[in-house]
Each structure stands twice: as C-alpha cells, then as structure tokens.
Structure 1
Amino acid sequence: MPTQESSTPAQIVGAGFAGSVVARELVEAGHQACVIDKRLHIAGNAYDETDAHGVLVHRYAPHTFHTNGGHIFEYLSRFTEWLPYEHRVLGIVDGKRYPFPINRNTLNQLYDMDLDESGAEAFFERVREPREPALTREDVVLNSVGRDLYEKFFLNHTRKQWGLDASELKAGVAARIPARSNIDDRYFTDTLQVIPKHGYTQLFENILDQPNITVELEVDFENIRGEAKTSRTVYTGPIDAYFKYCFSRPPYRSLRFEHGHLPNVAHYQKVGTVNYPNDHAYASITEFKHLTGQRHTGTSIVREYPQEDGPPYYPIPRAENEALFKRHEELARQEPNITFVGRLAQYRYYNMDQVVGAAPAAAKRIIG
C-alpha cells in the first residue's frame, strides 16, 4: 500500500527541465506530483512552437542541447528522438563576419595572416596579457587573447549582455568561450550535440505524460502558497521570490525577443547565430531553420535584446550577488519540506544538461 506521503502529491513549482524531471522521477518511485506553472505552457524557457508561418521557433532564445554526460543523454533519449546539430556562431566586427569563439581562421581573416596551429599558439602567447590570479572575466580574456581581440569581440558585448564591464564579472562566465588555435568553429565542443527531433515542447510532454503527474498552467505559486495539501514542495523559481524579498533582491539579467519572418528567403544568415558585439541594441540574431533542419520557403529569426528589467533569465555572476544568495540559501536550509533546484532557485548559470543531471539527485533526496 502507498504511504500517506506517496499518496499526497508533491507540489512542483515550474514546468521547465528541473521541475519536469523531478516530477517524473518522483512518480516513477511511486509518488504523485502536481506541476504548476504561471505561464500558458510547459517547457519553461525551452518552449518551442510552430509560428504563424509554419516554422518551428524557440520562443525564449535558441536552445541547443550539448553534454559530455552520456547518462544524461540516455535519460532524455527515453522521451525524444534526436537530430545531430552543432551550433556555429559568427561575430560581426567592423562589418565583417568572423568565426566565434576565436579560432585560427578568425586570426587569419582578421589580421590577413596564414598561421598554422603552432603559429596561432605563438600568436596568442605573444599578445596575451598575463593576469594572475585571473579573478574577473576581463582577466580571463586578456590572459587568453590579449587587448585587441578583447576590445573587438568581448568589451562591448559584455557591457551589452550583462550591463556591466568585464572587470565587474567573476571569471567563470568567460570559461564557456575559450580561444582555439585549431580551426574548430563549433560553439561547443561537447561530445554529444543534438536537438530534439520533434521539438522541446514534445520532449516535455513525454516527460510529463504519466497518470500520477497532473499539470496546472496559469497558476502563480504566490496565489496558492499554503493552500495545497502536499507532502513536499519543489521550487524552481527565483529563491528571493520564495522568501518574499526579505533581503535585497539578487540581480538577474533579462532578455527581450523580437521575432520576425522573411517570406521566400531560404536562409537569412550562414549559421545559426550571429553576434553583434559592437553594433545595434540587440546582441544577436538566430535563424531557427539552421537549428531544426526544417525545410520551408521562408525563414524565421529572433533578435535578442539584453535588458535589466523583465523576467529573470541569468543570475549575474558577481561576488556580492553570491553573498546575497548565500543569505537566502541559509533560510532555505531551515525549510525541511522545500527543495530548491534549478538555475533561478540555486542562483547558478546552469546549462540544460546540468539541470537535467541535478534534478534526479534532488528527487532521490526527497524520496530518501
């Protein structure tokens, strides 16, 4: 017979990766779960849909799945077929397009050189500005590629993306985009790089397709807090919101999306995403047909505008923000029946695979 706890649904706040995977894990262990989300849809920021023109688009910026964790890939493969996809990005500098992250071809095109791999390594060694210890994003980039490349590709882009100078951000945020002496022009180098064959939303529908999982949309946790009879709450929203902003709010970076469609245009740009580090208010343009492989007579794009106000997307990696989160985390430890998991709840810049990897562990702690 089920225990009282297993027969009382766990309340899962948020239908993104963290909440959906935790819900699935709980019901497979014999529990029940009620997933709520204040949006009109499941899948969180990974939500995709066919637009009015018949093109599959990602509503909240492009999402490409990449991981070195074979077990994470195998876990999600239970719920989707995959298409291979390696994301490529170009950066616009002085009106010309260059491979990004910076690699040997970037150097050769930018400086009109003909470097081989050892020559590129020697170039980086010659121009780099040693920074030890490398504490900030600026330190990491200058230590890697030197002043000129920093100013061309990183200085203004960082200000646009984060609303701060690179010297004001922790070093970790720069580790995602290292320079390369080879000609590998993939944005990521993970061993597994794919995209769900039928879209992210269907992936989430399959994860949540269990008799003991109920999903309630357009439900704001703040409006029902304390009302539901639940054995456990799993919270994936901003941790400061859960504690009703009892301390100063840790800052987040938001985004605004401008979607558009171009009829009778096979492709708008050569790669999935083009960055605009020095020009325009938008930071990038993504063309979705590159990601999905879809065939269509027209093409759909999205421009991303980083901004301070709006829904939270990215925790801002600064020491003072981390200290403020730690104060909230201390309060979280005093909540025995609440589990905080995910990018916003843990104030961490997690990739999708990291969230998927963390969610089963959170479920096991609940079950245990």
Structure 2
Amino acid sequence: MIVLIVLIVSFEKGPGVHVTEPRPHSLFSFGTLMDERVQKTLFGRSVPTSGAALSGYATRPLPITDPAVIAASGLDVHLTLECALGSEVPGAVLHLTDDELAAADAYEVDDYIRRRVCLSSGEPAWAYLDANPLRAAARIVIVGDSIAYGRCDPQGGWAARLAASHIAANETGHRVFNLAVPGSTLTDVSAQTPALLAPRLPDTLLVAAGINDSALPAAAQTPLPDADGLARLTADLDSLAATALAHRARLVIAGPAWLDESRTASYEGLRFTRARASALRESLRTWCTAHHVDFLDLWEPLRDRPDLLVDGIHPTPEGHQALYRHLTTSP
C-alpha cells in the first residue's frame, strides 16, 4: 500500500513475552523542518535525522503569508517541490512520533500537502508536496475509461485540453500520455497499468475512475453483492497505489462525473444510476482521504447540466471544457 501506517518492531521482555512499540514516521524534509530551531519550536526537541535525497524533483520558491509559520522559521519564502526528470533534491529524513507528525502537518501552510514518495534510496517516506498535484507535475500518465479517452468530443476531451496546456507551459520537460480505454473499469486499469508506465517515466499517475465501476446489468433491479463493482474498489486502488509508488509517481484519482439518469436506464445493456455513481464518488473520496491520495472531484462541474451530456453519460465538447477548467483551476 502507498501509506505507511505504523511500522511495528517487537522485542522480548522476559521469557516468551513479546512487546511491540511503534517505530517513528519517516518524513523527508528539504527546507525549514531541518532547522534545529524550528524543530525545537514544533516538537520541543531536536528530532533524530538521517541524510536522504529525493530524485525526480527540483525546488522552487514559495512565498509564505502565515504569521505563525514565518515566526517559527524566520523566513517569508520557503521552498516547494516540483517534478523534474533527472533532478534530485538533497535533504534529510526526520524520524517523528505520531504527535510530532501531526505538529508538522499543522506547521505547513495550505499550499503543501503530505503525500508518500519513494526516496532515491528506494525507501518510502512522507514528504510535503504541492497541494495541487497537476501544478507540480511534469510527466503525466492518464488511465481510465471513455470519458478520459475523450469520446463524443472531436477535440479529445478534457484530457487532450490538459495535455495541450500542460505541454505548452514547458515543451521541453512536460509530457502527457493519455492511455485511457473506453469501457474500462478500475479492475481493468489496475491490471493493465503496470506494464504501461516504465517507458513513459511518469511522475504523476492520473486515474480517471469513471462510471463503469457503478454499472449494473440493465435487467437487474437490485445490486447483487457478489457482482457489486464497488466492493472491489479497495483492492484495485491499493494495487494502483503500489504501482504508482514503485514508479516514483504521485497517484491522483479523478472521480466520476454527474450523469443524467433520465437517459441511462438501459445503455448498451447496462444501467447507470445517480445513486450508484454518487456512492462510487464517496467511496473513492473516502479511500483517498484515508490513504493520503489526491482526489479530484469531477462531479460538480456537470451537476444539473444535462445539456452538457451527449447521452446522459458522455460530456459534450462544452462539457469536456467545463471539466478541464475545473481540473486546472481547483486548488
């Protein structure tokens, strides 16, 4: 899994008795958290550290306006990470308790968010990354279904619009690879994606978890527990998280878009309902929150806008434009 919960070490305390203790969390720092004065302010002590580096990233300055953060660090400009193929950021791993990790979270401003990374050594650790995953990305791989593929839009959908603007911002360093396949479910995506990533050297894996995961046979009146696609979500997402981490890529989940149920009672032998799609959305959001993974909500841009849907499911070109604007302007 992509998340380090708490690693456990056991030791003997008397014959045949084993006691467990939590090991500290590993947090990669490249800036003010390495400062002993900041550590004593936040944690009440100088915390154990070890040298480390993070490959595939570079730093850029970030102006700070939070008075408490400025007071603790003595600086009104900190550094933030952005993806950069072939670069490496030197730093250190701080070994923190649960309470100290929570204090570090509180110290960081809203521009940062804690996510899992793979250090240059191959070891996993936490790091504070740009809160907007696409703003910090350089090489993006998109996987998903027909909506991510761009069906019903001659311009290639929201993914093609994202690719055009992203590459235009940096023709040398930015790439977008849209590998979405119409009809795919998360199970399909989790099985197919590992073989696709290595030659594309992604730093960001954008999974467009679409409507197919909520589909039921058109003849079915109620969900069958054994055939319920939502029950498989955790295993599929865990697999994608492991795949992303193995490739040193940041996992980003884009949830399903709003649908017009009045036109989806029987769609190519399947039935799509707003309740099922909404349940999928919340299941994805819950998993992402629990696992510290970025969730991009595509529901709201099309909510109550049936005019932006061709067939109740697939966006029109204007619908794709609305999704693209939402993806690139949301914090």
- TM-score by length of structure 2 reads 0.29
TM value normalised by structure 1:
0.27
Bigger share in strand: 2
